[in-house]
Structure 1
């Protein structure tokens, strides 16, 4: 009888131990998954982006800084990972850049001015042929911009579209325009080399 009770206690102990091990395993696994998430300047950067019927993968992410202040987190999504900015600029494949605004210092006018500066650099100051399209693109940023807003600028293989907080603001057709707008962040001359490097996973 004593032996039977001992066996029962042993089985019960073994059962409890297995449950404890399983619980511990789940906790560790959850912690590992949490640590695997990409966090940049407090922003959780998604590994995937599905938009306009396209499924894209995170290539890299970085921070746009000015005067030691984090302005936004920029994330690059591609069909095929690469460390070449020019390859992405020249490609006709779908590509997207997500901007998570992290500073209340960014206003609509400041964003438009930054876009202007970006086009000047990406076109080597030859914006005239694209003026009408650039003006249309800039109008997508006319509404008030708040900290926490999320913009997605995507080339879907035909046109460049802009989303703000999940709402489509408009689109601009043309491959040449696509090269100019993506070149703002990934071209030969950009507004922030560190951000470019982050987006390229360097």
Structure 2
């Protein structure tokens, strides 16, 4: 009986350590080890800090994929989630312009033109953010990419191609930062 109680206590401590080790905190902002995309579990792949001019810390981000999905398949038609918590205020117009610029950098001109209506529909979902606000992008292949602000859904845009183009801003071939991309994909 006593050995069973000790063993149970040891296992509980080990479980707490594993859970704590799987969470991450950057710049005082915490991200959990597991989240969901429409009821499907996704696991923390990595995290990073988004800077402006390599100096000013704008936000922190965490990226999630289903267990077993390697980094090189992150932009395929699989569930994925990106959480971004802001350290500074940003206007919705700045989000929209940045989205256009970075999707253009990560797609062909033809693809950019084809995705134009989806990009503009998504850009209308943005709101101004203040420090501490958190945007979440969640892609479910059966539904599309949903944008939420502080847990409140703002809208969804359908399409795997649009989702891959949008997420390419952070994890594509031409991301905001190579270091950020590597951190989000768990490559560093």
The residue aligned with 2:161 is: 176
Contact 1:82–1:200 (CA under 8 A) maintained in structure 2:
no
* Alpha-carbon shift at residue 80 of structure 1 (Å): 2.8
The residue aligned with 1:192 is: 177
Q: Measured at CA, do residues 77 and 42 of structure 1 come closer, stay the same or move farther in structure 2, by a change above 3 Å?
A: same
The 5 Å alignment of 1:1-150 reads 36=21, 37-67=23-53, 68-81=55-68, 84-85=71-72, 87-89=73-75, 91-104=76-89, 106-126=90-110, 127-141=112-126, 143-150=127-134
**Number of matched residues?**
172
Q: Give CA-to-partner distance per residue, 1:20-79, whole Å, 9 cap, x none.
A: xxxxx9xx98x9679634111111111111241221100000011113011111111000
Contact 1:64–1:74 (CA under 8 A) maintained in structure 2:
yes
Contact 1:83–1:201 (CA under 8 A) maintained in structure 2:
no
User: TM-score, structure 2 length as denominator?
Assistant: 0.82
Runs of 5+ consecutive residues of structure 2 not aligned to the other structure: 1-9
Higher-Rg structure is: 1
Runs of 5+ consecutive residues of structure 1 not aligned to the other structure: 1-24
The residue aligned with 1:154 is: 138
CA RMSD of the aligned region, Å?
A: 2.3
Moved more, 117-126 or 151-160: 117-126
